[in-house]
Amino acid sequence: RKEVEQDPGPFNVPEGATVAFNCTYSNSASQSFFWYRQDCRKEPKLLMSVYSSGNEDGRFTAQLNRASQYISLLIRDSKLSDSATYLCVVSLTGGGNKLTFGTGTQLKVEL
Amino acid sequence: NAGVTQTPKFQVLKTGQSMTLQCAQDMNHNSMYWYRQDPGMGLRLIYYSASEGTTDKGEVPNGYNVSRLNKREFSLRLESAAPSQTSVYFCASSEQERGTQYFGPGTRLTVL
């Protein structure tokens, strides 16, 4: 079983739609959780950290369910520019040095 | 402020050749990392350097060596390249071990 699992997609949605991605992780000792965004043939960039209480950044909302070991990302009012691959990332420590990446979920927002 | 830079952007090697991938950051970060990204595998940590003067193995260190030349620079060396090392290599840095990681643009390596 992969340590971090994501549906690879692609998710094809019309502009303005709401779309949600889920991710599950296998190690219950995981302590930090992130969503990164990766555009085609570019480097990953941090989208947002995920906190136990859930957090929102504009059109993006992240949730963490420790009991079920899954993380979600909700994108409201999708824009064409949201088209990218979204990587679920988990860390065993309090933060950075041992990040485990999911393989990513591809989102395509269409006119 | 360039962030994290990597050279070269592209490289084609023959099996058995050696090369060094260069990475530099200008953010005064303490920690630096090397990852590889393969289709269907996600990014995997090769080596990391928590601070200047230290290096540690990650998930997939075999066939690679690293050097933390100074605080800014962290290089990855392939001593004898193999086709299995065909991949996209990303360097990243963070202010400290527990900080957000910032990635360079990547090096696309093909080993024939």
Q: What is the pLDDT of residues A15-58, one digit of tens each?
A: 999 999 999 999 988 888 999 999 998 999 999 999 888 999 99
Q: pLDDT averaged over chain A?
A: 92
Computed over every residue of chain B, the mean pLDDT equals: 94
Tokens encoding A108: 């395509």
At residue A42, the pLDDT reads 94
Question: Could A4 and B42 be called an inter-chain contact, meaning their C-beta atoms sit closer than 8 Å?
Answer: yes
- Whether residue A97 and residue B103 make contact (CB cut-off 8 A), yes or no, is no
Q: Which residue has the tokens 């001593």?
A: B79
CA distance A4 to chain B (A): 9
Q: Which two tokens stand for residue B44?
A: 């995997």
pLDDT per residue as tens digits for the range B29-61: 999 999 999 988 889 999 999 889 999 999 999
Instruction: State whether residue A47 sits within 8 Å of chain B by CB.
Output: no
Q: Reply yes or no on whether the pLDDT at A98 is more than 80.
A: no
Q: Are A39 and A84 in contact (CB under 8 A)?
A: yes
Using 50, 70 and 90 to split pLDDT, how confident is the model at B99? confident
Size of interface A-B (CB pairs under 8 A): 57
> What pLDDT is stored for residue A88 in this prediction?
96
| φ/ψ of residue A109, rounded to 5 | -100, 125
Q: How large a percentage of chain A has pLDDT more than 90?
A: 78
Of B42, B94, B98, the CB nearest to A103: B42
Q: Does A9 touch chain B (CB under 8 A)?
A: no
Cα(A103)–Cα(B108) distance, rounded to whole angstroms?
18
